[in-house]
Structure 1
């Protein structure tokens, strides 16, 4: 006979049935915990096994990562800010808008792309380039100050500067003005030694004095223009637009923004991000940083090095069937110094920011420079520095 107890609502519930429900709930909860632990263990094991997978051939590495490597197009130019009004300067031969190409690669599903600092900030790529840019900035500032008058409305700054640019000068009026006057040297000859003849005598000095007075009066009648002070003019270089294109795309450019700039000038790495913060679904495999070789001292001369990138930018990338990424290989030719490593991969401009893999497809470096005069001598920032971003 089952014993029933009276519930507060007057129901009679078998005690055995209640215990049975507790038992079932406990079993279900235990099952959920077990499945979760099993799944987590399986995921950790999967990641560990995946890390140990060696792709083993150039073709497999290319097929795995070709969609993750992007062509970067960066447009930048010179700008002036005058009393808070920003305008772009395009009239000067030394300050034309520039477009450069580089390479980058996706490292997560949030649209983050690793590339070189000099792809995103080419005006800081070298001491020589920085000096050139700083010289241009000084000259542009002086030229604007030499033509822009205070009576020009702020809305007309851009048109006025464009119309009058040919008359602009790099002469800096604050550095000193010519001293002296234009009155000439005239001697006072005193009283005339000759007797008066009764006729009005007009000397040459009197005629010149009248001419000077007339010229001075005319000059005084011409209104003096005031020019905008150089202190109110700021000139700088900045990005106009950064876009990326995927392998096999038909020139469909995706908008990007700069996410992170390396704080170490010796580490030529930066981070881009798609403006929608989402890696395209067509990118099946990102470059897995969990597989990156962080012990760069283990990278020895003679080991294989494989680069996937876009040397020469659109010149080589553009084909009749869309944009195509390229693969180049070589060998590590010098041990790492802690920041960079040297390899014998053939490369040139446009491949900056390209990933460099070992024979298993593990990231070992990010390509950043080479020697123009000699092919097969190129350098990459070792992969361990990527995580610092």
Structure 2
């Protein structure tokens, strides 16, 4: 009994530690942590792994969460930004692809912007290349000579149906027939015809006409006279005959020494194609249109019809595909056009959508852009044309003119170059003269 020592608290804890660990693992971990901390304070475990790391056997998810407390917030914010960007650009793309909305029938647009948005895709820029051609003994050839170089004109047209038909001016589709050009073109054609007759011989085959004319054009002369004609040229007169070949002194020797020699007869003679067998005229080389927002893309067309009346400057152009592009949501509806030109009063709004100055003004870094200009009707219609104060210039010929509701009232065709604000359009009722379907509809209504 005397040799037995009372148990100290430390011995008691050491003796009961296994039992406590088996009963409660959490309590064991806590005691172990406390023990390790005590040892650390006493310097007994200086080279051991820090006890805190040994006492954190948590799951990987919890450990990741403790190590990166801002990761979830960071990725959440990134997701929100990404979704926002996708939504923004998706909406922007959708809006750009939806360039216009279908017009509700009999609805007054009552806004320049609404008129523009509705019809900008229906209005196209026309590029027309044309030049001189010759028909020689039934063979047509294109002339590639300085006086007959190709010319290019730009204008405007607009779709009126889903079959690729467009309205424009006749002077855009056939510029050589316009009042201001017809005399000049006829004079140039006559001059070219005389030059061809001065160099083209009958021994040249029709297949070689074009090449021969181009190669020998430098020798051509417009001073072409019919035999026996009196144009002041005396070289073929009886009094002067032979003077270019022999002198008067030589003539005496010839008379006394030898028989007369006809030197002109010794020169080889060639037969030339008669001027009567040559026709020279202008003709389309290429005609095409560009859509609003297009980029260097031209759609080929054909001229279907022009007005037979010079005062009615209208014509029909059609895409060779005979199908209006799907990007054109609204065509200019002729059924909704104002055909009663007497109802058009001075002071009422006039809105033009077109391509003044052609590519010079329409071409941008993002493609072709149509333009809108507005003004007022300034004079009553005379039954064929109407005047308005809309800014316009070359290239706007063929542009549609709308009233404040977006109804077609005229087709722009003329203006005064030196002064802005004095422009004219062919009233809509005259479209019947070049577009037969309109005439048929009018007969049905009557």
TM-score by shorter chain over 0.5:
yes
Are 1:242 and 2:287 an aligned pair? Answer: yes
Kindly indicate whether residue 135 of structure 2 is the aligned counterpart of residue 135 of structure 1.
no
1:42 alignment counterpart: none
- Structure 2 partner of 1:195: none
Partner of 2:30: none
Q: Which residue of structure 2 aligns with residue 62 of structure 1?
A: 116
> Using a 3 Å threshold, how does the CA distance of structure 1 residues 354 and 175 change in structure 2: closer, same or farther?
farther
What residue in structure 1 maps to residue 392 of structure 2? 347
Match of 1:148 among 193, 196, 200: 200
Where do 5+ consecutive residues of structure 1 fail to align? Answer: 1-46, 185-202
Q: Calculate the TM-score normalised by the size of structure 2.
A: 0.69
List runs of 5+ in structure 2 lacking aligned partners.
1-101, 230-235, 244-248, 436-446
Matched, 1:258 2:303: yes
Larger radius of gyration: 2
**8 Å CA contact retained: 1:183, 1:212:** no
Distance 1:173 1:329, change over 3 A: same
The aligned residue for residue 207 of structure 1 is 253
Identify which of 126, 146, 159 aligns with 1:106: 159
The total of aligned residue pairs comes to: 321
Report what 1:121 is aligned to: 174
Question: Which residue in 1 is equivalent to 2:224?
Answer: 172
Matched, 1:85 2:143: no
1:33 is matched with which residue?
none
Query: Relative to 1, partners in 2 of residues 1:210 and 1:84: Cα closer, same or farther, differing over 3 Å?
Result: farther
Shift of residue 102, structure 1, vs aligned partner: 0.5
The two structures, once aligned, show a CA RMSD in angstroms of: 2.1
Q: Render the CA deviation track for 1:241-268: whole Å, top value 9, x for unaligned.
A: 1101100001211111112221222211
Q: TM-score, normalised by structure 1?
A: 0.78
Deviations 1:178-207 (A, max 9, x none): 3215357xxxxxxxxxxxxxxxxxx98642
How many angstroms does 1:354 deviate by? Answer: 0.2
Partner of 1:297: 342
Q: Is the 8 A contact 2:178 2:310 kept in 1?
A: no
Shift of 1:217: 5.0
- CA shift digits 1:303-338 (9 cap, x unpaired): 111000000111111110000000000010001111
1:77–1:96 Cα contact (<8 Å) kept: yes
Question: Please, which of 210, 216, 220 is the counterpart of residue 158 of structure 1?
Answer: 210
Q: 1:372 aligns with which of 397, 417, 437?
A: 417
Match of 2:315 among 231, 248, 270: 270
Higher RCO (CA-CA < 8 Å; seq separation 6+): 1
Superposition deviation, residue 210 in structure 1: 7.1
Give the CA deviation at 1:365. 0.6
2:410 partner SS = strand
- Bigger share in strand: 1
